[in-house]
Amino acid sequence: MLFSPRSRPLIGLDITASSIKLIELSGSVSNCRAECYAAEATPPNAINEKTIVDAAAVGDAIRRAVKRANTKTREVAIGISGDVAITKLIQLPKALDDNQLEAQVEIQADQYIPFPMEEVSYDFQRMGPSKADPDMVDVLLVATRTENVDQRRAAVEAAGLIPRVVDVEAFALENACQLMAYQMPDGGMGHLIAVVDFGASNTTFSVLQDMRVDYARDFSFGGQQLTEEIMRTYGLSLEDAGRAKKEGGLPSNYVPEVLDPFIDDMTQQVSRSLQFFLASGSNREQPDQILICGGCANIPGVADVISSKVGIPTEVGDPLGQMKISSRAKAQGIRKDATALLTACGLALRSFD
């Protein structure tokens, strides 16, 4: 399911603990058009630490999003967290044909996967000649426990959709970064680019070398912390605090007493992640640019603050910046949510494989 080629449109479906976002793209990577889009709040307690515990409730939310998006496409690409995926680059003889390669991967997979093979879903992709040995080929092996796939499949099928591709969210993010190449020096080639995707409760820090993810780190931090601080400071419900965060109308002390300290926390998280990256291997160098994405990236001036504190040019990443947008997608506020659509876009791009 992971690497199967596509010939029909796919909905990119990003399922998180806070929201469900779907997008459908047409055209090509270099000439994209967003055909439809919708977002729906994830039902409370339906997802616990990235695990779907109430597939029926999540399925209902997906169904509502599909209806709002007004799409007839029923096949979807979904992602699993990199935390539950095992990825391994292995070398096999270049002379093997596809059937022989598959047989060899099956034989070797057992030594890299720490679970009984009957409990595992896996796939592989021939990546190209090995740099270490010209007679060998690099093969990317990706595996996860089948239960991690099944819980997402159950939610998608409960919504009346067909899960056609299961990707890893880190791969989807890498794929989506092609849509932000216009913001990068030299289109990202020959450069180190850090991409920070701030979610509601989890953030992904990735570093791309020549547009390929060379380093990735997930950590617990996100916009939910700002919402909860608004709730505590002003005695609001969580729902009202979230609405006030997006729509405004908070007291005059909100910026100095609540928002500015949160921006400082964001900056510290980026700085800490950069330190982890530099310490992760020999000859590591500072990235040439940082792109920040996710809902927190929309905070006015946050890119400038991060840039001044860490000393690296920083911009708000916009995967939709060069994309044509249909009237259906505009009506659902896709531009407003653009920074939060990296994973959904990366999944939807699997239509073009």
* pLDDT by residue, tens only, the chain of 353 residues: 454 544 578 999 999 988 999 999 999 888 999 999 999 999 999 998 788 999 999 999 999 999 999 999 999 999 998 888 988 889 999 999 989 999 999 888 888 888 888 999 999 988 889 988 889 999 999 999 999 999 999 999 999 999 999 999 989 999 999 999 999 999 999 999 999 999 998 999 999 999 999 999 999 999 999 999 999 999 999 889 999 998 888 999 999 999 999 999 999 999 999 999 999 988 899 999 999 999 999 999 999 999 999 999 999 999 999 999 999 999 899 999 999 999 999 999 999 87
Q: Answer yes or no: CATH 3.30.420.40 is held by domain 183-316.
A: yes
> Is pTM beyond 0.75 here?
yes
pLDDT score, position 10: 93
Residue located via tokens 């998608």? 156
Matching fold, domains 85-146 and 183-316 = no
Tell me the C-alpha to C-alpha distance, in Å, between residue 310 and each of 72, 150, 203, 272, 283.
46, 42, 18, 10, 19
Task: Tell me which long-range contacts 210-218 makes (C-beta under 8 A, separation of at least 24).
Answer: 211/174, 211/177, 211/178, 211/181, 211/187, 212/174, 213/170, 213/173, 213/174, 215/277, 215/280, 216/82, 216/170, 217/273, 217/276, 217/277, 218/81, 218/82, 218/83
pLDDT score, position 7: 55
Domain map (residue ranges) of the chain: 11-82+147-177+323-352, 85-146, 183-316
The CATH class of 11-82+147-177+323-352 is alpha beta
List, in order, residues 6 or more apart from 17 with CB less than 8 Å away: 42, 47, 48, 49, 50, 200, 201
Amino acid at site 32: C
The CATH class of 85-146 is alpha beta
CB 342 within 8 A of CB 293: yes
Rounded to the nearest 10°, the torsion over CA 242, 344, 115, 107 is -170
